[in-house]
Amino acid sequence: MSEDRDFEDLVAEGAAVPVQGWDFSWLRGRASEERPPWGYARLVADRMARADTALDIDTGGGEVLAEVPRPPRRLLATEAWPPNVEVARRTLRPLGATVLWVAEDAALPLRDAALDLVVSRHPVHTAWDEIARVLRPGGTYLSQQIRGGTVRELSEALLGPLPPPTRQLPEQAVAAARAAGLTVIDLREATLRTVFHDIAAVVYFLRKVVWTVPGFTVERYRPQLARLHARMAAEGPFVAHARRFLIEAVKPV
């Protein structure tokens, strides 16, 4: 098979895989990413076991929440992307969770001080005022967030040199939490080695993690993908670095 044919086949393969939900198992053997050292799923399970009412914001397909061994009495989840809502409802049915479609930047459909716990893994936007509103005094918000500049190497491979990130920075999250009346009790950061072994994995990742290259389509970025494929063929797997931070805040009593 020619190198051009190999490129076309790989791109077509990465473009054909469904991207609903937040399950990255298709990348197994094709890409890998280090896990943050704090163990987000374990922390969520611990907080859920001690809560009576809890909410997971931007649940995706419910994959992380589904790992909770002892769910609270009342468990809610929100998701903004309609195809994910049905996936999450199926995934979380065994936990008795209620999954709500809530548009990005919309108010949470909950009364004031309704929840003991709010969690969110990789939220698109953190509505700190809304989180503070729905938490009871003494309630907790726990979130693993994508730091600005994550997998920057991959973004620049398609977009060219980028300025330093100005959004989604830990210090901004801390300031916003405090402005909403919450007390930050934990903040941690991690840089995680991320390896792509073929261009199909890159295409799939860019289709799924849409903020990496906003407006990505195979047609629009085919020349850049071809150059990256040639580089990987010559030099080996493409290495980038994901950046994450964990923030935990409480509503004062």
User: 37-85, pLDDT tens digit by residue?
Assistant: 999 999 999 999 999 999 999 999 999 999 999 999 999 999 998 999 9
| pLDDT of res. 5 | 66
| pLDDT of res. 68 | 97
Maximal CA-CA distance, the chain: 67
| pLDDT of res. 1 | 42
Give φ, ψ of 248 to 5 degrees.
-130, 130
Dihedral Cα 246, 163, 30, 36, nearest 10 deg: -10
3-state class (DSSP) for residue 138: strand
pLDDT over 70 at 188, yes or no:
yes
Residues 6+ apart with CB under 8 A from 62: 21, 56, 77, 87, 88, 89, 91, 92, 97, 99
Residues 6+ apart with CB under 8 A from 57: 77, 78, 108, 118, 119, 120, 123, 131
**Percent of the chain whose predicted confidence (pLDDT) is above 90:** 94
Q: What is the pLDDT of residues 23-36, one digit of tens each?
A: 899 999 999 999 99
Greater pLDDT, 188 or 22: 188
Of 234, 224, 236, nearest to 197 (Cα)?
Answer: 236
Quote the CA–CA distance of 71 and 52 in Å, as a whole number: 9
pLDDT over 70 at 127, yes or no:
yes
Single pTM value for the model: 0.89
| pLDDT of res. 3 | 60
Report the residue count for the chain. 253
Give φ, ψ of 99 to 5 degrees.
-105, 125
CATH 3.40.50.150 is right for the domain spanning 3-250: yes
| pLDDT of res. 179 | 98
Among left, alpha and beta (phi > 0; psi -120 to 50; other), residue 64 is alpha
Q: What is the pLDDT of residues 86-107, one digit of tens each?
A: 999 999 999 999 999 999 889 9
Q: What is the pLDDT of residues 214-234, one digit of tens each?
A: 999 999 999 999 999 999 999
